[in-house]
Amino acid sequence: MSFKLVPGVSDADYIAATRKTAEFIGGLRGFIDRRLSKGDDGVWMDYVIWTDMTAAQEASAKFPQAECTADIIRMIDPATLVMRHERQMWVSEPSLAMG
């Protein structure tokens, strides 16, 4: 998902709130990896990789219901939120990219 934060929310506060959700997200069926980034334009990307589309959609439904996600939800500007579920088409092998 991509989004901007509500005015007045610091990067540090958002990252701290995100860390509080790590155990919950990591414990959901099909979780593989999660990355959080922010572009120079202020748009954040919370990128989560799941084993399959069903797991991704199940997690998406559970996320807003979890107590640990309440702070994150309040910090995101809903007018900027874009949620996407995409199918992974290719993955670079780390050894190939380095060598």
**pLDDT value of residue 94:** 76
The pLDDT profile of the chain, 99 residues, written as one tens digit per residue, is 999 999 999 999 999 999 999 999 999 999 999 999 999 999 999 999 999 999 999 999 999 999 999 999 999 999 999 999 999 898 888 766 555
Cβ-contact 80, 6 below 8 angstroms:
no
Enumerate the domain spans of the chain: 2-98
The class level of CATH for 2-98 reads alpha beta
HEC string of the chain?
CEECECCCCCHHHHHHHHHCCHHHHHCCCCEEEEEEEECCCCCEEEEEEECCHHHHHHHHHHHHHCHHHHHHHHHECHHHCECCCCCCCCCCCHHHHHC
Total-model pTM: 0.87
